Amino acid sequence: MRVVVPFAVESPKTRLSPVLAERERRSLARAMLADVLGAIVAAGHEPTVLATAPIDLEDDFDLALSDDVLAATTIAVDDRPLTEAVNARLPAEDADGDSVPEAVAVVMADLALTTPDALERLFAGDADVAIAPGRGGGTNALAVRHPDFRVDYHGASYLDHREIAADSGLAVEAVDSFRLATDIDEPNDLVEVLIHGTEHAPARLRSFGFELEEQDGRVTVARSDG
């Protein structure tokens, strides 16, 4: 199975701007990408980063990626909108009308909590389309095995993807996973990174001065002045 990881190189994670400067958002986005790539490689796959601009995993990352990740990962630059760029890499039919059999998984780069086990649940199914929905109706990851399926990431894409599959008569499996459902977009999401993250992303947040704090019986994050 080919695994594609879309990644916005410039000005990522703008909804985190209330708590992180642009430089910090860029750094955290790279740390989360590193964690996603590490989980994919540990699950036995070789990811392709579908980047909106050229990026070097060694020179452009202020963290140390493992040799295994560096060796297994390739970069493909595509500055088209997400839907168009992803659709160009999904299973298709060849010139003779025969299906190209290799399945393709698409895993978002901000799934900082993901683990090899969580990904294997997505990869191991046999449905035409397996979808890991995100909170709020998005699509955080999916595995596509049929050439008739195409993505549309606008709006409530999880519902749209189920409808697209149904219109083509394709079997759909929903992968219910806390780790795959938790994408990091809003300031409150940083709590989950500090609690459940395992490597680069939580370490990067702590380097920025973020720690867990309990307020009125709820856990949140606080940032030290230093």
pLDDT tens-digit map of 21-38: 999 999 999 999 999 999
> 105, 123 in Cβ contact below 8 A?
yes
**Alpha-carbon 13 to chain mean position:** 13
Fold exhibited by the domain 2-186: Spore Coat Polysaccharide Biosynthesis Protein SpsA; Chain A (3.90.550)
Both tokens of 118, joined, read 């969580």
Task: Give CA–CA dist 169/3, Å, rounded.
Answer: 24
Return the pLDDT at 61: 83
Burial (CB < 10 A; 0-12, 13-18, 19+), residue 200, is: buried
Confidence (pLDDT) at 216:
80
3-state SS, residue 175: coil
pLDDT tens for each residue of 93-146: 765 655 556 899 999 999 999 999 999 999 998 899 999 999 889 999 999 999
Average pLDDT of the residues in 75-102:
83
pLDDT computed for residue 226 by the predictor = 55
Q: What is the mean pLDDT of residues 145-169?
A: 95
Lowest mean pLDDT among 49-58, 93-102, 165-174: 93-102
